[in-house]
Structures are given as C-alpha cells and as structure tokens.
Structure 1
Amino acid sequence: MELYARKAIHKGAEVVELAAGGYYAIVAHGLGSNVLRFRDNKRGMEIFRYNGSISMGEIMNAPEIWGLPTLYLPNRFESGLLRTSDALYRLPVNEERFGNHLHGFIQKRAYTVKDMAVKGKTAYVVNEYVYDEKDFFYNCFPVKFTVQIKIELSDKGLTHTVTLINQSDKMMPISLATHTTINAPFVDGGLQENIRLQVPAEEHILFNKSKWLPTGKRAKLSEYDKQYVSGTCPVLKDICNDMYSGGTLTLDGKPFHGTIMTDTASGKKICNEVDDKYKFWIVWNHNGFMNYFCPEPMTAQVNAPNLDMPAEQSGYEELAPGKTYTASQRFFTMG
C-alpha cells in the first residue's frame, strides 16, 4: 500500500500529494490549503468534488465549490458589518444582490508548506498563512493572525485541523467552516440519485430568505427536516441553506458527532466526524443538479457576531491576543 508525502505539479501548480491507508489526497497550498482531491482507492470512491478536465484557473475563480476549502469568516455578514467586543469592522460587500459580505478571504490565499512528512503509517502536510498589513484585506480587517492547516492521511481517513493564532492587540472574531463539497456520485460508476444524507439536526435555524440571514428564531424539526436525522434525505433536489444546530447520530451502535453519506446501491459510506467546536450544519447543493452537495460544519451561525443572542446560542467566540484556537474534523469511508 502506497505511503508518501511529496511535492508534485497538478494542473500546472505546485501541490502536495499524500498517500496512506489506501487513501490519496492532493493539497494545494497555493490555493488556501484546499484539499483538491481525496480518493479512497481501495473502495473506488471520489470523495470531494473533483474534475480532471477543469483547469486550475477555473478552480481559483471559485475555490469555494471545489475540494475541501477552509473558510474563516464563512457565509454571510449583513451589510458587510462585523461587530466584536472591541471594534466594528466593515468588510467589502461582495454579494451585491443580497448586500452581504460572503466567505472571508483565506480560501484564496497562497500558503507556505511548513512541514511535510511520513511518520509511521501517517502522511501529512502543514500549511501556513500569515495575515498582516501586507494583505489587501487588512485595510478593512486589521487583526493580525496566523492560520495553520494540517492535513493527515492514514488508515483512519483524512484529518483536517485548523489552528488560528491571534497575533494582534485586539479580540479576534471566531467563525470557522469548511465548504465541504462532496462528489455526486462519490462511488465509481454510481448514481447521484442513490445518495442519501444524514445530518445530526436538532433545531432548524430559520432564515430571512430575502437576504439569506438568520431571523434569530429556531423551529422544531418538520417532517422534511427529520429526513436528515433518519438518513433518508436525497441529495438530488434543490437544497438551499438548510441550517441546523448540531446533535449526535449513531454509527455502528456508538454516538457519532457528524454527517453520514450513503450510496444505497453499494452500501458504501462517507463519514464526516467533527469535534465539539463545530456546533452547526448548513446544507447546500447549488440547485441540486451540479454533481456535488455541501454538508458544511460551522463553529457559529451565519452572521453570528451581529445576532442579538447569547454566544452559547449563536456559537460566536472571540480569541484574546496571543491565544490559539483549534478545530478538527475527520473524513473516512465504510462499506
């Protein structure tokens, strides 16, 4: 079984290739440390959205909808405003039709490879981006920090760990997500209509659909919502910003904090286990017929810093100067 961590050229760009435990990954440090490809070679599964004929330029134009992009300040901030306990930041309104700021900026930055190695039966890479006054975004968000993203492959799957280090003299807002793009179908030779998604939904977070921002209210699960909990929700339909507070599922008779995606024809599964920092899930699939879907874990609600509610409900946190924040998740396959 192959085991390596090595630099390579993919679509004309330098990347890091990882192989371990029958899994294979391509990590593009030059594009936000995105996991451009994640494959289970043993089971014949293409896990993240990948297309060999798409150019790197096309991916760079829309990095949020390929592979596994990491988002800091994810999703929407109303009118571009971000209120912290010690400042008010005005982010660029880059979603003009709704008047919001969308998705932050670190998914588009060039990271540096800080470490890359094979240890035991694990292959890994650590990529780093230092955010300071040299970044043009700093004009509207002057909070220095470093982000490190570690991608590990082993027979336990792919582990994705994000570390944020506040190197400013201000409180750093914490809202973190991965825009998890799952290939549909994800089994070689499979059919998109056979995929079912299971999400540990507890309460439905309601949105004002004129701007796709939370109203501040939650609802009990409807019959539609309960399809997520039971694992009977098909992904071949239009899913637009179904957001839930996260609970726990059961996998192999044990509690499981994450999502489960099943190809009903083969019985093969993708499992995405997250740590307790990820308190919310939002599901979106680009109108349903684009051959991918996104069950996205988020540490905080959409527009969280601006919501009039306690932090334990919004999920919003702040990181003090000199402090470190880490969130981790794991993807693995079954069947």
Structure 2
Amino acid sequence: MTQIKAYEGMFQGEPAVFLQAGKYEAVMLPGVGGNLISFRDTESGYRILREPAEGEMEAFRNNPGVYGIPVLFPPNRYEDGLFPWKGEVYRFPVNEEATGNHLHGFLHKANWQVEDYGQSKLESYVTVKAVVDEHHEAYQYLPFRFTVRLKYTLSENGLSQHLFVRNDGDKEMPCLLAFHTAVNAPFAPESEARDYKVKLTIGERWQLSDRMLPTGSYQPLTKEELQLKGEGLYPFYASMDNHYTAVPQNGRNRMELTDEKLGATLVYDVGTSYKQWMIWNNGATEGFFCPEPQINLVNAPKVNLPEDEIGLFGLAPGEIWEETARFYLK
C-alpha cells in the first residue's frame, strides 16, 4: 500500500510540514520564506534540491536564496535600489554592496502562513501564503496590498507547484517574481558532477553591465551555450551568472538534468509565463546550481524595451495571476 500523508514536525529545529507519497518525500519550511527545502526519491536515494546539512541552519536562515526553492518577489537586481512604477519611484534597500543594487526582494526570508495541508488517496499537499499589507515588513518598500499563495503537491508524478498572486488593493501593482531553485548535481549518491548534463530552453543571452544589469542588448551564444539549449552539457563547464530569454521547445519551458551514469533525467517543467531564465552555478563549484525561472527581465522597470518582451506587467485591483511548475524523474 502506497504511503501518502502530510504532517507537521520539525526540520533541524525549524517548524515544517512533511509530505510523503510513495517513493517521494518533501519538506516545506513556512517560517523561512515558504521554502520547499527538500524533495527526495527515497527508493533511489536521490536528493533533488540542495538542503541545509546538519549544523547549517544558521547559514540557511542568513542566506535562504541558495537552498531549496526560494520565492523572489521582486526578483534579482534593481539599480541603486530604485523601482519606478506608474509615475512613482519606490526605494529598496541596497543590499548587494559589490554592485550597489537591491537583490532578490522581500519574501524569501519572510514568515509565511500555513493555510492548509492534508492528503487524499492520490496525493499529499501543503498550501502556504504571504499576505502583504500595512502590517507586513515589505509594505514599506512596496506599498501594495496583495496575497501570494503557494501550493505544493506530491504524488506518483513527482512534485507540482501552483503559484497564485492576487492584488488585494485599490491600485495597479507590479507582478514580478522568480524562483531561485537550487538543484543538486549530483543528485544521486553514487554519481559525480561530471556524470551530469543540463539542458535548458534558453533563447538569447542578455548582455550585462559590470553591475550585473541588462544593457538592453543581446550577446552571441557561445558554442557551449548552444549545447546548453541543444544536447546539454556539464553544468559547471564555466562560471555562470547569466541571464537569458526563455524560448519553449515542444511547447514546454523546462530544465532537464541527466545523470548519464544512471540514465536518470530530472525534469523541471516551468510555465511559459516565465519569459526569462537566470542560471547561476556558484562560480562553477560542483554540488549544486540554480536554474531560475523569472517572469521579468532583471531591472525591468528601468529597461527601455517593450513591456511584454521583458515581462514587466501589473495586476489591476482584484486581478489574479497564476502559474504551475513540476519536478519529475524519467
């Protein structure tokens, strides 16, 4: 009989919701950014996401952006911390000294509320939400009232993610979001990083300034980047902190990570509403890398290009935006 259940517990001293469904298990940490911190195939011993090791929880709390699936709202970098929107200029803290920019928004460290969890005959699930209003820390920087809801579901088909954003206020709000997803390579205990190839549905590479901000121009893809969107290549072939347009293949926008030694492929299938990919591999350090689906171009409010091209859009009062993604093994 397949074991399917959802329950509350502790993950290295942090309140958590645990999900089980057959060979899969996952762990959600609502108190640290609504981060889905663990996704494992227990039969094969695969650890798909980078988790804090024993004794690393303090490092995780200080920098949750490089573990699990952190929510970035708004994502990536904003020049001088300035965010122009509909005739106003909002000021974010400059928290990346090297570039003088604001980095990664306000929700990946916030406390999220567990709204529901449970199980059926087919799946286990957890739903968490962040409600931003005058009482939320983020409101001083982004003075809009809105709800972000995340539902993760575990089943024999892997891990699914449903993202929901609703404008609860009376003025149009920006809807800019990404996931700084940290994927292990290798994810199998008997394999090495050199056994892996990654493929992504990238299109053009954005040219970035020395402050890691788009210039509005593209750069030619290297032969390795052509491999990245073709047959795939070793994820740590060079240091990557690169920004690309997303171009679906066969109707899907996805990352595929293949363990060639074992013949196992992890698919991270994200929705086509994500018009950009960021790829970061920690200075080509083997162990994990981050394929980051983004709605918007980095620094989008200050880039003079068509809004639809750079994923810069808003939600009117009462309007909802939602998207889905899935992890599975084949």
The interval holding the TM-score normalised by the smaller chain is over 0.9
**Secondary structure class of the residue paired with 2:108:** helix
- Aligned residue number for residue 211 of structure 1: 211
- Aligned residue number for residue 292 of structure 2: 296
Aligned length: 329
**Residue 192 (structure 1) shift:** 1.0
Distance 1:10 1:200 in 2: 34
Alignment deviations for residues 11-69 of structure 1 (CA, whole Å, 9 cap, x no partner): 11110000114210000011111011100123321100024314322211110001111
- Aligned residue number for residue 128 of structure 1: 129
Distance 1:134 1:117 in 2: 29
Alignment deviations for residues 103-131 of structure 1 (CA, whole Å, 9 cap, x no partner): 00101111111111112311100001111
Distance 1:302 1:21 in 2: 39
Structure 2 length normalisation: TM-score? 0.95
Task: Answer yes or no: is the 8 Å Cα contact 1:21–1:156 preserved in 2.
Answer: no
Letter paired with 2:249: L
Give yes or no for the alignment of 1:313 onto 2:314: no
- Where in structure 2 are the equivalents of 1:56-67 lying within 5 Å? 56-67=57-68
> Which 10-residue stretch deviates more, 277-286 or 129-138?
129-138
**Structure-2 change in CA distance of 1:223 and 1:238 (3 Å):** closer
Distance 2:231 2:162 in 1: 27
- Where in structure 2 are the equivalents of 1:58-97 lying within 5 Å? 58-97=59-98
**Secondary structure class of the residue paired with 2:40:** strand
Structure 1 length normalisation: TM-score? 0.94
Letter paired with 2:265: K
> Which 10-residue stretch deviates more, 40-49 or 149-158?
40-49
Distance 1:180 1:55 in 2: 18
- Aligned residue number for residue 259 of structure 2: 263
**Residue 257 (structure 1) shift:** 2.1
Letter paired with 1:48: L
Task: Answer yes or no: is the 8 Å Cα contact 2:116–2:126 preserved in 1.
Answer: yes
Distance 1:100 1:177 in 2: 17
Distance 2:108 2:84 in 1: 22
Task: Answer yes or no: is the 8 Å Cα contact 2:79–2:102 preserved in 1.
Answer: yes
**Structure-2 change in CA distance of 1:140 and 1:215 (3 Å):** same
Task: Answer yes or no: is the 8 Å Cα contact 1:72–1:105 preserved in 2.
Answer: yes
Alignment deviations for residues 142-187 of structure 1 (CA, whole Å, 9 cap, x no partner): 1111111111111111111221111122221111111010112111
Letter paired with 1:14: P
Task: Answer yes or no: is the 8 Å Cα contact 1:204–1:218 preserved in 2.
Answer: yes
Task: Answer yes or no: is the 8 Å Cα contact 2:193–2:286 preserved in 1.
Answer: no
**Structure-2 change in CA distance of 1:241 and 1:317 (3 Å):** same
Letter paired with 1:50: E
Distance 1:239 1:288 in 2: 4
**Structure-2 change in CA distance of 1:187 and 1:249 (3 Å):** farther
Task: Answer yes or no: is the 8 Å Cα contact 2:252–2:271 preserved in 1.
Answer: no
Distance 1:221 1:236 in 2: 17
- Aligned residue number for residue 186 of structure 1: 187
- Aligned residue number for residue 16 of structure 1: 17
Distance 1:199 1:239 in 2: 16
**Residue 219 (structure 1) shift:** 3.6
Distance 1:119 1:215 in 2: 49
Distance 2:5 2:103 in 1: 36
**Secondary structure class of the residue paired with 2:309:** helix
**Residue 79 (structure 1) shift:** 0.8
Letter paired with 1:27: M
- Where in structure 2 are the equivalents of 1:1-335 lying within 5 Å? 1-208=2-209, 210-249=210-249, 255-289=251-285, 291-334=287-330
Structure 1 vs Structure 2: percent identity of aligned residues?
33
**Secondary structure class of the residue paired with 1:198:** strand
Distance 1:117 1:258 in 2: 28
**Secondary structure class of the residue paired with 2:229:** helix
Task: Answer yes or no: is the 8 Å Cα contact 1:178–1:297 preserved in 2.
Answer: yes
Alignment deviations for residues 56-87 of structure 1 (CA, whole Å, 9 cap, x no partner): 22211110001111111010011111111242
Gaps of 5+ in 1: none
**Residue 290 (structure 1) shift:** 5.0
**Secondary structure class of the residue paired with 1:225:** helix
> Which 10-residue stretch deviates more, 37-46 or 92-101?
37-46
